Structure 1
Amino acid sequence: MRMHDGASPFHHSTSHSGGKDSCYSALLAQQHGHEIVALANLVPADAGTEELDSYMYQTVGHGVVEAWSACCDLPLFRRRIRGSLQHHALVYEDTPEDEVEDLAALLHRCKAALPELQAVSCGAIASDYQRTRVERVAARVGLVPLAYMWHQPQARLLRDMTERGVRAVLVKIAAAGLSVEKHLGAELSTLVSFLHVLRRKFGGNVCGEGGEFETLVVDAPLFTHAKIELESWEPYLASPDALAPVAYMNNIRWSLASKREGEPAPSARIEWVEDDVESAVPVSHLASARPGSACEASVQTWPSENLLRVSATVLRSSDGEDAAMHAALSAVQEALSVRDLSFSDALFVHLFVPSMRRFAAVNAVYLRFLPAANPPARATVELEGEGTVVDVLVAMPGGGTAPRSLPRKTLHVQSISDWAPACIGPYAQSVAHAGLVFFAGQIGLDPGSMELVAGGALAQCRRCLLSSQNVAVAQQTHLEQALLWATVYVDASASDEDRAAILRAVRTAWGSGASGQETDGRSEEENLHEEEDLYEEENIHEEENIHEEEDPHEDDALDEYLVPPSFPRRTWSPALDCVVMPALPRGVLHGAAPARLTTAALACPGRFRRAVISAPAAGSGAALAEEAAEVVCAAVLRQAAEEVEKCGGMSVASCRLYVAGSVDINAVRATLAKLSDSGPSMPPLLVPATALVDSRGDPCHMLLELLAVGALA
């Protein structure tokens, strides 16, 4: 598809089962400005079969779905499901004869018949299994996945869809408290309060996300021409369990009722899709070296007991930024391959590029090297001056433990939603591994439109904080109580006032919370008051609406996927530092890349040590000449060596030295070459920046970030 600004409307199809979720997801897509141009539906291979045992598709009521074409006056593409469950992993890989391949064939035909088709919507709320499969197929076909119900509160979704005129009946029941006599065939809107009662009594999901029930929509705002009237049906009892019977509607007879006076309902436009589509050829992420390139990359590798850090630097390239990125990634790839590792083992990638204006070309090179499934998290910023730097942190076997066998959770949501900005491409929102969660850089994008939020730097900062919080909850960690460190990147064009406001907001949200400690010279109580003031204006109207609309019978407990884990009050203050760079992605003024402990590691926080060593700048940050730069750099390295001594038996996993534009960078390079033996156990990776600010908001000449880890478990 042709990529364009996120705010531009997509022509999209809806992957449609006939149920409330696919219907309401399409309505939300319309609300975000996208136009529905087609419907797509999968049905059992045997037309006489009503129910399939499938984790992917709802099929009960499939005989009625053909009416949707007439009701919406849209073409309906349908295909009989030939495949079955073959690929059992959470993240789907193309597998012949799997039922997901039927969806690929269906959407491939939709795209061929409708060249203007750009996106596909689905009704996933909490199912990673369903979402990742739709996203994989969408990527193959060249469509953008839309999932505006993703990780939204089910109580609100249920209330909103019924209030907005989505009329649906229960066509299947499979939960404690639901009976054939009372609830099968009942309208969903009449059961809202009862479903909350069942949740309080038995648990489960009020939207049926756990398979408690399935629905069939008979009328909705999408039905512009006609509605469906059910004339008769027969109950089929699949399981006569006394507590939780499983039953569905069978032999459904229906008719259409025109919604336009004096006009008959339009004829259905249905195309059956018979052709298969070949599975995508698996991509080898061992990109070849670019012939004829004069780029040379210097490579540094720092193995520790359980982690490997590899960085590649190209100081300058006459062949352009994309050639420099190719050379750097090739060098990292070669360094990994000699250790029987690959980019699939990477946890986090930091890209420092010479110009964000050429980022599209640089990113195209990145796509050739990184895996599409379970990619690492990533942050990208522009360097001060020339040069390209790729810094990769990799899990590696060692110390009798193979980290690749340890649990790893990659959160890679590619669907556009209202949850957090989509990561469309080979980088994840976050990767959790062996007690640490590595977060991709967040910028101030509105998730639903993928456009920068209005209101300037502070508004972008608040959006970053909210998106980071949503990602943290999805990874089952807690921003306020488990944060180890965060690097705050600020665009050089941001004013001093904006920088101060950003740091204050980040410190308020993430810097307080340590028991018995103060932040920025103020008490915790003062910081909490500031936090209340910071968000009061934004939240006051939302809270008023909640109280006005709240159903007294509605269960206000959060869904499980929205509940952060319970953490003890932390006893440390996270390391927060601010780095001013020439430019950030999409021209934003603020971005953040946090990392934190997970529940397993919180019991032994001493296994991780994070230090930020800063060299304050006098006054407003006057220039630092060659001789002074050498002295300051040497002092920073000596302090880093002392910090390493405090790490005990832990291994240094990351050591990065940011240098402000006020400092003679060549003097720093010379000092690093001379003093590397007396510095930390690994020489720091040099990153030229525009300006630096410590956690108190004071300007710095240099900032050294140090991370040490103990044995992974």
Structure 2
Amino acid sequence: MKVVALISGGKDSCYAMMMCNKYGHEIVALANLMPDDDSVDELDSYMYQTVGHQIIISYAECTGLPLFRRRIKGSTRHQELGYRITPGDEVEDMFILLSEVKRKIPSVTAVSSGAIASDYQRLRVESVCSRLGLVSLAYLWKQDQSLLLQEMIANGILAITVKVAAMGLDPAKHLGKEITFLNSYLHKLKELYGINVCGEGGEYETLTLDCPLFTNARIFLDEYQVVMHSSDSIAPVGILHPLAFHLENKADTQSLRSQNNKHEMEELGNVFEVQDYVERCVATREPVDYIPDVIDGANHRFQFSRTKNKSTFSICCWLHDSSSAGLQEDLKAVLGRIELQLTDFGLDWKNVLYVHLYIDDMTQFSMANETYVKFITHENCPFGVPSRSTVEMPLLQVGLGRAYVEVLVTNNQTKKVLHVQSISCWAPSCIGPYSQATLHEDILHMAGQLGLDPPTMNLCNGGPTVELEQALKNSEAVAKCFNCSISTSAIGFVIYCSELVPSLERHKIQEKLKTFLSEMKNSHLQDGDTYEALDPIFLYVLVPDLPKRACVEVKPILYVQGDTGETIEIIKERSCLTPQHYWAFKHEDWHDSCIQQCVVQEKICAVVLSITREVAVKICSDSLPTDFAHMEKLSKFSIYLLDKVLTDNTFAWEDIMNLRFYIPASLELSLEELVPIFSNAFLELAEMSQKVIDGGEPIFNIIPVIGAGSYASSMDDIVTCELLARKS
């Protein structure tokens, strides 16, 4: 990609440019925001470093690149973490600046920034990029600061401090010093006081005088003045005000220019100052062309399912026998109907935590995204867009339309969303309105993770196990943002496997998952972590295809303990409080082999129930289920076992957040046939047990798959159940 680099003059923005080159991008322009008044060194800004701005003009000649500069007219008006367009805010100056760069250089498709840890800055850069149709590149994001500082020094970043504001940093001693000289001292201050060694907490700011991108010349600072902002005895604050500098040509080290005037800095190189009259670029997103008449058309027959959890519940919608023109129309109809259903409940898209998007043809993934973003946008989800998993399912094979959507909804707005759109070395970006993870009431719902190499966004080479390992690393990077780990906090994993993976390779996926989690757990123990780890459940689902033609997609769900300090009590032994005898089923020891469960006492109950062919033969009197009578018996047995797990752990059916039955499409039973079978089983259970199970509408979703099971090597269950319950 052709990139415009946001530069402050600091080491981070310069090293971010070097990382762009490393990953094959081309820096074609520089962009800088400076104070409206040249005599001002530092603004009261949450966004921009301006100390040393007098020297930035020379970067054009040092690099041979055009430099676009704009004077900051705005101030910090919108102070919430997530940015919304606010006239007069300093972020709008960045928008105008980058708009002009895009107008002058239409080939620019990406923006580089040096963000390391500030969500505030990253989100604002991403917001501007989204409005301009540009990709945000933040290759320093979430990197270990100690290692990052070492890398900068080793790779030729020559930068000096131009501001110090931390305990242990003295303006008289440490201003104007090279980071190479201060490296060991900064690490000592980290041990003593916990400072950020890269200065991410405002401890210090730098000015780059030379780096490998300065191909024409380097900068020499001839004269400067130390200006004290605070003489605090513990953490004095001082800045370096440049008075004179010169450039030296790298070819013959001959001085190009010398500047000795303390008040005037002559323009160097190809510099453009961006004014207010710049034409605003038109946003790339089109308005919603939502037409209610299409949704209510005669060609659409909808099926709904809704669970009854008091605070968090799921809604599922699919089409029967769609005769539409294609995926776009079907998805539009389904999303439109869900939107109307949310409205009926007094809710909207901002209440959605998670979206499962099932489509019939993964080659139309881009088209599905285009339709999706017309309903779910940043504007209508001010608290954060929901996380999402997208897979291909054999929908048409079981008589459905081309789109099937399930949403997890909450009645409250206590969710915490992680949505990073920037491409970085941390974890895959989310280019679009879906987030990496959503935390709600101690449960972390993570988006489906592919085996993508984060800085390139390409699938890793090497096959299914290599992809799986990278997907797990990506999942762990996301989990760390919520102070947890997939090896100790996971309630369960759903592993989607593409049918393109040879059957002989599938067992290796399971072995790799087991080994990876075990090694990571041991690493935590060696680091001194003493908290008890959850024993997660596993579900493997065989699907026709995945995004980017990936071999696997990992969907973890984690329990994140709150800050109450209470001890988690994990139930590891299955109990049997009351014998259950519904439909003449009686508990037998082999029943336990069908069940995986992860239970946090009085909080969460997660279950995977696996009805294998062998189990089906036992239940159906030594014959495989091939008709309605057999499936009726298997549905009742499945619900019997689920009811027993819930009862034994003191959970009720109304605590269920979602319940899915995965049924192989090869059974040639349509969902229109299957839904009444399971609905009647729930009705009978309610009558026999006098338990609260709403029989007015289903409380479950049926998902057509190629195969599913508890083991990757044998995804051939007749019925597989996935249940998640949480006490409100």
Q: TM-score range by the shorter chain?
A: 0.7 to 0.9
Aligned match of 1:581: 543
For 1:288 and 1:264, locate their aligned partners in 2 and report how far apart those are by CA, in whole Å: 67
Aligned match of 1:629: 631
Secondary structure at the aligned position of 2:318 is classed as strand
Counterpart selection for 2:84 from 87, 93, 96: 93
Distance apart, 1:472 and its partner CA: 0.2
CA displacement 1:233-287 (0-9 Å, x = unmatched)? 0000000112211000114311111112398869511111112666999999894
Aligned match of 1:517: none
Aligned match of 1:270: 271
Distance apart, 1:224 and its partner CA: 0.4
AA partner of residue 613 (structure 2): A
Contact 1:308 1:395 in 2 (8 A): yes
Aligned match of 1:242: 233
Superposition pairs for residues 694-713 of structure 1, below 5 Å?
694-695=710-711, 697-698=713-714, 699-711=716-728
Contact 1:289 1:326 in 2 (8 A): no
CA displacement 1:522-577 (0-9 Å, x = unmatched)? xxxxxx5x999xx9xxxxxxxxxxxxxxxxxxxxxx9xxxx99967213x521111
Contact 2:132 2:282 in 1 (8 A): no
Superposition pairs for residues 96-495 of structure 1, below 5 Å?
96-261=87-252, 267-275=268-276, 287-289=290-292, 291=294, 294-317=299-322, 318-372=324-378, 373=382, 374-386=384-396, 387=401, 388-396=403-411, 403-404=412-413, 406=414, 408-495=415-502
AA partner of residue 655 (structure 2): S
Contact 2:195 2:201 in 1 (8 A): yes
AA partner of residue 335 (structure 2): L
For 1:36 and 1:60, locate their aligned partners in 2 and report how far apart those are by CA, in whole Å: 24
For 2:93 and 2:291, locate their aligned partners in 1 and report how far apart those are by CA, in whole Å: 34
For 2:200 and 2:320, locate their aligned partners in 1 and report how far apart those are by CA, in whole Å: 52
Aligned match of 1:614: 610
Secondary structure at the aligned position of 1:59 is classed as coil
Contact 2:389 2:555 in 1 (8 A): yes
Aligned match of 2:262: none
Contact 1:629 1:663 in 2 (8 A): no
Contact 1:478 1:564 in 2 (8 A): no
Secondary structure at the aligned position of 1:658 is classed as strand
Counterpart selection for 1:655 from 656, 659, 668: 659
Distance apart, 1:644 and its partner CA: 3.8
Secondary structure at the aligned position of 2:307 is classed as strand
For 1:566 and 1:342, locate their aligned partners in 2 and report how far apart those are by CA, in whole Å: 41
Counterpart selection for 1:603 from 564, 568, 575: 568
CA RMSD of aligned residues (A): 2.7
For 1:270 and 1:113, locate their aligned partners in 2 and report how far apart those are by CA, in whole Å: 13
CA displacement 1:67-113 (0-9 Å, x = unmatched)? 00000000000000011011111111111111111001101111111
Contact 1:672 1:683 in 2 (8 A): no
Q: Which moved more, 1:55-64 or 1:649-658?
A: 649-658
Question: Residue 638 in 1 paired to residue 647 in 2?
Answer: no
Secondary structure at the aligned position of 2:488 is classed as helix
For 1:321 and 1:334, locate their aligned partners in 2 and report how far apart those are by CA, in whole Å: 20
Contact 2:132 2:281 in 1 (8 A): no
CA displacement 1:617-671 (0-9 Å, x = unmatched)? 2499998522433332332233233334344356111001111233232353452
Aligned match of 1:5: none
For 1:82 and 1:127, locate their aligned partners in 2 and report how far apart those are by CA, in whole Å: 22
Aligned match of 1:684: 700
For 1:123 and 1:27, locate their aligned partners in 2 and report how far apart those are by CA, in whole Å: 11
Contact 1:96 1:279 in 2 (8 A): no
For 2:527 and 2:142, locate their aligned partners in 1 and report how far apart those are by CA, in whole Å: 13
For 1:580 and 1:262, locate their aligned partners in 2 and report how far apart those are by CA, in whole Å: 64
Secondary structure at the aligned position of 2:46 is classed as coil
For 1:578 and 1:484, locate their aligned partners in 2 and report how far apart those are by CA, in whole Å: 15
Secondary structure at the aligned position of 2:444 is classed as strand
AA partner of residue 595 (structure 1): I
Secondary structure at the aligned position of 1:56 is classed as coil
Contact 1:655 1:683 in 2 (8 A): yes
Contact 1:624 1:664 in 2 (8 A): no
Aligned match of 1:51: 42
Distance apart, 1:228 and its partner CA: 0.5
For 2:256 and 2:676, locate their aligned partners in 1 and report how far apart those are by CA, in whole Å: 80
Q: Kindly, what percent of the aligned residue pairs are identical?
A: 33
AA partner of residue 465 (structure 2): L
Distance apart, 1:290 and its partner CA: 6.2
Distance apart, 1:146 and its partner CA: 0.3
Secondary structure at the aligned position of 1:368 is classed as coil
- Rate the CA distance shift 1:679–1:329 in 2: closer, same or farther, 3 A: farther
Contact 2:306 2:699 in 1 (8 A): no
- Rate the CA distance shift 1:609–1:286 in 2: closer, same or farther, 3 A: farther
Contact 2:632 2:681 in 1 (8 A): no
Question: Residue 569 in 1 paired to residue 532 in 2?
Answer: yes
Secondary structure at the aligned position of 1:165 is classed as coil
AA partner of residue 83 (structure 1): G
Distance apart, 1:675 and its partner CA: 2.5
For 2:250 and 2:96, locate their aligned partners in 1 and report how far apart those are by CA, in whole Å: 34
AA partner of residue 598 (structure 1): V
Secondary structure at the aligned position of 1:599 is classed as coil
AA partner of residue 192 (structure 1): N
Superposition pairs for residues 13-52 of structure 1, below 5 Å?
13-52=4-43
For 1:284 and 1:72, locate their aligned partners in 2 and report how far apart those are by CA, in whole Å: 41
For 2:212 and 2:166, locate their aligned partners in 1 and report how far apart those are by CA, in whole Å: 29
Distance apart, 1:677 and its partner CA: 1.3
- Rate the CA distance shift 1:360–1:419 in 2: closer, same or farther, 3 A: same
CA displacement 1:144-188 (0-9 Å, x = unmatched)? 000111111111110111111110000011011111222100111
Aligned match of 1:552: none
Number of residue-to-residue matches in the alignment: 648
| Structure 1: stretches of 5+ with no match in the other structure | 1-9, 397-402, 513-527, 536-557
Contact 2:660 2:721 in 1 (8 A): yes
